[in-house]
Chain A
Amino acid sequence: MAERVAKVFSKPLPRLMAWMGPIVFALLLVPALAGPYQTQLFTYGLIFAIAALGFNLLLGYTGLLSFGHSAYFGLGAYSAAFMVRYLGVGSMEMFIVGGVLLTAAVSALFGYICVRHTRIFFAILALALSQVLWTVAYKFFWVTGGTDGIRVAFAKMTLLAGTVNFTGAGAYEKFVGYYYYYVLVLFVFCTVLMWVIVHSPFGKALQAIRDNETRAQFVGVQVKRYRWFAFLISGTFTGLAGVLWVPLNGLVTPDILYWPFSGEIVFMAVLGGFRNFTGPIVGAVVFNYLKAYAVASTQYWQFMLGFVLVVLVLVLPTGIVGAGSKLMEKIRGKDKAGAEEVAR
């Protein structure tokens, strides 16, 4: 019996479910235990985790560093806002469908331009393209609302195909609670989906490209094509995060397309550890809290970000999760040595 259980859990997907289970259970309890402010803050963390997860498909798994991911996040956000302002739509599901389609299309286009080039030009081009979008959002203010932005009020929104709305007394608390679970479900979905992708033959091919582009070619992997596809998936995940972000923030402005936000996404992945699957998730959640408390205490937030990034690169390049697993190995190593001692 024990053997059969062990066999089931030696397979990757059940093992994933096993350690995700308790975490998801804990996450389910958050709105009950925390007030609306904390719940909302945590929701932001989950949203950024989706964005960072998408970003890291390119960095951690394909070896492509993009300083332009704010483009996809912002596109997702603006697409929802446009649907509110110009189409009078309020359904969250419509926002998601529209946002995903738009960011997929733009990722496909931008990806085509970017992946034809070496990794250094890639980083430059990704940044430049996101700046184009920012300029467009900024200058075409009669369409995008310019620096005033476009409002997305939760009172006018619905979830679950119109069955849940947020009007009347206690609407804000209701929204925060429901929205948290909505985002949580999507977060779990995205995590499992990305996990499958990186553990698929496609995911292995991406890692091969990351490790040795030439050899990958000589093994029959068409490097540009695979990079492009990874770019498409990456941009779409980040775009979805953008769509989810906007109802919570209530407002979208060109700031979300500006390069510092791209830098924050990069930072999240590096902070958590971009060579681990869970690194970006941890990094996003931790960063979210750091930012919330740091921005409150200083206006030189960029300096802090830059400083910590430099320290991370020099001292802790594997990030929180990377350092954590090294620590675990050392402890286990000590345990093993201890057991050997006792055995003697």
Chain B
Amino acid sequence: MDIFIIQFLNSVFYASILFLIAAGLSLIYGVMQIVNMAHGSFYALGAYVTAWAIGTAAAGAPVALLFVLLPVGAVAVAAVGAIVEPMLLRPLYNRPEEYQLLITFGLLLILEDVMHFAFGGVPLTAGAIMDATGTFPVSSLRYPVYNLIVIVIGVIAAIGLWAFIYRTKFGVILRATSQNRRMASALGLNVKQVYVLAFAMGCFMAGLGGAIVVPSQAAQLGIGVDALILAFVVVVIGGLGSLEGALVGALLVSFVRTAGIQFFPEIELAVLYLIAAVVLLIRPTGLFGKA
């Protein structure tokens, strides 16, 4: 019974991370109609930067400081995104979509090696935060408090993002631009600005996912593409461009993955793809997707 509670908590924990990544991917696609192949690499970059920042600061530093450093990865990634968008994506707005896929794929390759170069081949962790926050009892076992914090962050992020998109003025602008770029431009909206901000926001979320996962799981080479594939499965199931879809998809994928690792460790990925394939057969645009 305890095992189930632990696994349940693990699933929700992991779903929080997946939601952040997938929502960022969906946001970028929803507003700009671009599939960001480098999205997983932004997640990895967020993880690396945060792990490095905390690792550098760790020795004897107060827990509060460590927490403040957590979002550093996310901010750094958002900054990179804000630079990348005008440089690489803006020139391609009017070109066929293959070129956007190709250039973000090139960005993926570049980022992977940049991280290799900057941080080396050794995994980095920010375990200090995990240790500092301790554990709490779940009947006869103990569970990290930090994981609960992540779940809370995930919930706040989901609510915050929903409020931002549906309740703020900029959210309206975002939605207008995503519906019809030319129209929005004709109405005087600065489309270029909107796009940069949307892209930076999407990257921020991916980076945040990496930043908050890193006390629990190490940042190492290869996590970017793994995350990308999972994020893809999430948006395929939930629907590209949909916030609810990212949430539902993240929960579904996370639970299936946890169950899979527990019961069919060899093929848990295959089970996920199977589910994605089945969803696609029934609803080709995903559960909540727009065409």
Contact = CB atoms under 8 A, between A and B. Distances in A.
Direct contact of A and B (CB under 8 A): yes
Nearest to B226: A131
> Which of A63, A124, A125 has the most C-beta atoms of chain B within 10 angstroms of its own C-beta?
A124
B157 interface: no
Interface stretch (A4-12, A20-28, A31-39, A299-307): A299-307
B269 A132 contact: yes
Nearest to B291: A118
Interface of B: 29, 35, 37, 88, 91-92, 95-99, 101-103, 105-114, 116-117, 225, 229, 232-233, 236, 240, 266, 269-270, 273, 276-277, 280-281, 284, 291
A314 B89 CA distance: 9
B229 A65 contact: no
Interface string A42-64: 00000000000000000100010
Nearest to A259: B225
A117 B109 CA distance: 26
Contacts of B97: 119-120
Interface of A: 59, 63, 65, 67, 113, 116-121, 123-125, 127-129, 131-132, 135-136, 139-140, 259-260, 263, 266, 270, 300-303, 305-310, 313-314, 317
List of 10 A-B pairs having minimum Cβ-Cβ separation, nearest first: A306-B109, A303-B113, A309-B106, A306-B110, A310-B106, A306-B106, A302-B113, A124-B232, A300-B113, A302-B109
Given A121-B236, A127-B232, A263 B109 contact: yes
A23 B110 CA distance: 36
Contacts, number: 111
Contacts of A116: 280-281, 284
Contact of B110 (A113, A118, A135, A310): A310
Contacts of A310: 88, 103, 106-107, 110
A306 B107 contact: yes
Contact of B101 (A65, A128, A139, A260): A65
Contact of B88 (A119, A139, A260, A314): A314
B35 A306 contact: no
Given A120-B97, A317-B99, 8 more contacts: A65-B102, A127-B229, A132-B270, A266-B102, A302-B110, A306-B107, A310-B103, A317-B95
Contacts of A314: 88, 91-92, 103
Contacts of B101: 65, 67, 120, 123
A65 B114 CA distance: 26
B109 A123 contact: no
A198 B223 CA distance: 39
Contacts of B233: 128
